[in-house]
């Protein structure tokens, strides 16, 4: 099974928890997000997989995953910047019909994704239309898995629970990506010290 499918299964698990539905309209752990909106954004990581992989292969040459994160405008954006408002709006739209309907949509997307991944190549160029460039299919899926791991943790923290644990096939490429981004932002020494030397660890090594 492709690791992305396992990541989507973890979305179904988390969104099906009663704690999430009970807090749907409450503020989340992220500024300006409700629990429902954050859940909708998390579910969107499955929906976008269907939409973009289902589309015709892009004519654009795929860029690397690291180059993608050099180009995106949301890194460092304030919560009231247009890009941030647009991302929250998408999550709210996905969540509009409530928790039960959202879980059902993710389950349906998961079934479609299983077929799409069997039918397409890992190197298939996938256009990311809101960005204007393409990625290899499996690089695009690492991006989606990163979003799933990070926002599952956000959602769990929002309702006082631990997010479902994902296996190494999901977590390893996500941690590799986040580590590279943290090194780019803070430098190699800061990241190495944070991971190995508590006495001289920097205050933060956030990837974004």
Q: CATH code at 117?
A: 1.20.120.450
Specify whether 158 is located in the same domain as 206: no
- In whole numbers, what is the pLDDT of the chain averaged over residues? 96
Q: What is the pLDDT of residues 91-123, one digit of tens each?
A: 999 999 999 999 999 999 999 999 999 999 999
Specify whether 85 is located in the same domain as 121: yes
pLDDT at 43 over 90: yes
pLDDT bracket for residue 61 (50, 70, 90): very high
| Global confidence as pTM | 0.95
pLDDT at 131 over 90: yes
Specify whether 176 is located in the same domain as 123: no
Specify whether 155 is located in the same domain as 188: no
pLDDT at 76 over 90: no
Cα-flanking dihedrals φ and ψ of residue 136, to 5°?
A: -60, 145
Domain region containing 95: 3-163
The residue-averaged pLDDT of 69-75 equals 93
Specify whether 156 is located in the same domain as 95: yes
**Cα gap 34→24, rounded to integer Å:** 7
Specify whether 39 is located in the same domain as 107: yes
Specify whether 45 is located in the same domain as 74: yes
Specify whether 158 is located in the same domain as 173: no
- The pLDDT value recorded for residue 64 is 97
Specify whether 154 is located in the same domain as 187: no
Packing angle of the helix pair 35-54, 3-15 (nearest 10 deg) = 150
**Cα gap 18→52, rounded to integer Å:** 31
Number of structural domains found in the chain: 2
The residue-averaged pLDDT of 5-15 equals 97
């Amino acid at each position: 099974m492709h690791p992305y499918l396992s990541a989507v299964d973890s979305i179904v698990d988390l969104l099906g928890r009663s704690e999430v539905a009970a807090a749907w309209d409450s503020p989340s752990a992220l500024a300006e997000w409700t629990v429902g909106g954050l859940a909708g954004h998390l579910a969107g990581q499955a929906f976008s997989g269907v939409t973009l992989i289902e589309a015709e292969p892009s004519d654009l040459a795929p860029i690397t995953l690291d180059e993608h994160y050099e180009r995106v405008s949301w890194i460092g954006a304030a919560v009231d910047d247009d890009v941030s408002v647009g991302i929250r709006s998408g999550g709210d739209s996905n969540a509009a019909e409530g928790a039960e309907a959202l879980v059902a949509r993710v389950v349906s997307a998961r079934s479609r994704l299983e077929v799409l991944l069997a039918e397409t190549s890992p190197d298939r160029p996938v256009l990311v239309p809101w960005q204007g460039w393409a990625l290899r299919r499996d690089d695009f899926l690492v991006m989606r898995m990163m979003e799933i791991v990070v926002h599952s943790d956000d959602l769990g923290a929002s309702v006082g629970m631990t997010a479902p644990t994902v296996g190494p096939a999901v977590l390893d490429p996500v941690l590799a990506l986040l580590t590279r981004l943290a090194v780019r932002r803070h430098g190699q020494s800061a990241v190495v010290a944070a991971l190995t030397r508590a006495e001289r660890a920097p205050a933060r090594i956030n990837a974004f």
